[in-house]
Amino acid sequence: RVSGLYESEPLGVAEPQPPYLNAVAEIVTDLPLDELLTRLEAIERQLGRTQKGGWQPRTIDLDILWAEGERMQTERLTVPHPRLWERAFVLLPLAELTEALDGIPVAERAGQVAKWQTVRRVSSAWFFGTSPSPR
What's 15's domain CATH number? 3.30.70.560
Residue 58 is a catalytic residue: yes
Q: pLDDT confidence of 127, banded at 50, 70, 90? A: confident
| Strands annotated E in 48-94 | 72-73, 78-79
Domain that holds residue 77: 5-123
**Predicted pLDDT of residue 15:** 78
Q: Is residue 67 part of a domain?
A: yes
The structural domain count of the chain equals 1
List Cβ neighbours of 2 (8 Å cut-off, separation of 6 or more). Answer: 23, 24, 25, 26, 127, 130, 132
List Cβ neighbours of 129 (8 Å cut-off, separation of 6 or more). Answer: none
The average pLDDT across 102-114 equals 93
Residue 39 is a catalytic residue: no
Q: Is residue 133 part of a domain?
A: no
pTM of the model: 0.86
Q: Which of 34, 39, 45, 61 is catalytic?
A: 61
- pLDDT tens for each residue of 47-69: 998 876 666 777 888 999 999 99
Whether omega for the bond prior to residue 80 falls within 30 degrees of 0, making it cis, is yes
State in Å, rounded, how far the first CA of the chain is from the last one. Answer: 12
Give residue 130's Cα distance to chain centre: 18
Residue 109 is a catalytic residue: no
The average pLDDT across 78-102 equals 95
Residue 22, SS3? strand
